[in-house]
Structure 1
Amino acid sequence: MLYTAEQVTQLPSEGFRYLMVSLDDHVLTITLNRPEKKNALNPPMLAELAFALAYAHFTTDVWLVVLAAAGDTFCAGMDLKSLSSGDQEVMTVPEPSGPVRLGELLVELHKPCIARVQGPVYAGGFLLVGGSTYVVAAESATFSLPEVKRGLFPFQVLALLLDIMPARTALDLCLRARTLMATEAYSIGLVTSVVPASELDEALGRLIDELKQFSPTAMQAGLSAYQQLKREASEEQQAFLYDQFVQLQQTPDAREGMAAFLEKRKPKWGGE
């Protein structure tokens, strides 16, 4: 994490410059709000995103995160102009402790994240989509990696795509810069559901309601273990997972879940 728990005890009192953030009934919605630049990510916006995701990670009351976007484009990737010329804007959040690498932000979240994709996704925007746990996309949304057209290559995106789809499929997306329709993105696993644009919020709401029925502590433990598992030697993985299960059994949510099962009632999750 690029921010400590102490730094993110609350969101900026005057709000963010490039994000809209709201917390409602355990769901933190982070909306990219630079529509005039197609939500291209400049350094101040990246810092705000890192801060908001750290807040989500450390705040017990946050069970789920929704990533959304204002305007007609979900995200045009990195703002190459601001990256090449430097950005002198005064930031709305403290300076992060290191470089903001977008591919790492969602990996460290350890909470279910749903991307609400209403429009095109380009380049580095794939890191937000591919790093999310679920991606609910409008039928009209498109997905493209145009870096090779500019003499660049989507290195971080490739690493992320290799977790989602076969290597040849991931490489083809990076090498040919094709534009995928939402249904094609669904067929290769980049998107988890596709709906008409008019039904996007309804589909998002259904998924949120379903996830909120389950223990946030259990889901967070599972997502954390999933990331840690990648770093464990194969012969040590089962021992690691057994230890994780033993630890999870001691949590208030686990005790509540078992009690609710035995008493044949709906559990009341505390998220701890």
Structure 2
Amino acid sequence: MLYTAEQTTQLPAEGFRFLTTSFTGNVLTITLNRPEKKNALNPPMLNELAFALTYAHYATDVWLVVLAASGDTFCAGMDLKSLSKIDTETASVPAPSGPVQLGELMAGLHKPCIARVQGSVYAGGFLLIGGSTYVVAAESATFSLPEVKRGLFPFQVLGSLLDIMPGRTALDLCLRARSLSAAEANSLGLVTNVVSTHELDAEITQLTDELKQFSPTAMQFGLRAYQQLKKLPSGEQQAYLYQQFQELQQTPDAQEGMAAFLEKRQPTWGNAT
């Protein structure tokens, strides 16, 4: 984590410069809010994302995260022009302890994250959707990795794509820089749900309402285990998973879930741990 739990006990009182947030019914919505630059990611915006996602990770009343964007583009990737400029405005959050790597940032959330994709996604924006648990896209959205057209290569995106699709498919997207429709992205597993633009919010609400019926603690344990398995040798994985099951059984949510099952009632979940 690039911020500590102590640093992120609350979101900035004055708000962020390049993000907006809202919190309703255990769902934190983080909205990229730099529409005049097609939500291109500059260093201050990356720091704010790191802070907001760390807050979501540690906040026990946050069960789910929705990642949205304002304007007609979800994210244009990195703002390359900003890398050569010095930002003189007052920062909304402290400096992180290291460079912000979007792939690692998303993997460290350990809570279900739903990307609400209302417009096009380019380049580094793929790290946001690749790291989300669900990607709900408007049927008009498009997806493209144009780096090779500029003499670059989407190295980090490739790593993210390899978790989602076969290697040759991921390489093809990086090498040919072709634009995918939402339907094509769905067929490759990059997108999980495709709806019309006017159905986007209703689909997000339906998905969050469904997920909120289940134990936030169990989901957090499961998502953490999913990431940890990638780091463990195959011979150590089953022992780790058994240990996680033993630990989860001791949590209030697990005890409530079993009691509700035996008493034939709906469980009342506590906050994620």
* TM-score (normalised: structure 1): 0.99
Task: State the partner residue of 1:270.
Answer: 270
Q: What corresponds to 1:15 in structure 2?
A: 15
Identity of aligned residues (%): 78
> Map of 1:201-240 to 2, 5 A cutoff?
201-240=201-240
Q: Say which SS state the counterpart of residue 75 (structure 2) adopts.
A: coil
What SS does the aligned partner of 1:129 have? Answer: helix
C-alpha distance in 1, partners of 2:24/2:117?
20
CA distance in 2, matches of 1:107, 1:72: 26
Give 1:259 deviation, angstroms. Answer: 0.3
Deviation for aligned residue 1:160: 0.4
- Equivalences for 1:88-103 in 2 at 5 Å? 88-103=88-103
- Which residue does the alignment assign to 2:164? 164
Match of 2:145 in 1: 145
Q: Name the CA distance, whole Å, in 1 between partners of 2:142 and 2:125.
A: 11
Deviations 1:43-95 (A, max 9, x none): 00000000000000000000000000000000000000001334333210001
Distance 2:103 2:85 in 1: 22
Cα distance in 2 for residues equivalent to 1:11 and 1:28: 11
Q: Aligned residues, how many? A: 272
Q: Deviations over 1:202-255 (max 9, x none)?
A: 111110000000000000000000000111110111111001000000000000
**Secondary structure of 2:152's partner?**
coil
Q: Which residue number in structure 2 is paired with residue 113 of structure 1?
A: 113
1:187 corresponds in structure 2 to 187
Mapped to 2, the partners of 1:89 and 1:174 lie a distance apart of 35
- Give the equivalent residue in structure 2 for 1:50: 50
* C-alpha RMSD over aligned residues: 0.7
Structure 1 position 247 matched with structure 2 position 257: no
Other structure's SS at 1:243 match: helix
Q: How far, CA to CA, are the matches of 1:111 and 1:259 in structure 2?
A: 24
- Per the alignment, residue 197 of structure 2 pairs with 197
Code of the aligned partner of 2:54: A
- Taking the aligned partners of 2:154 and 2:49, their CA distance within structure 1 comes to 20
Runs of 4+ aligned residues of structure 1 deviating over 6 Å after TM superposition are none
SS class of match (1:47): helix
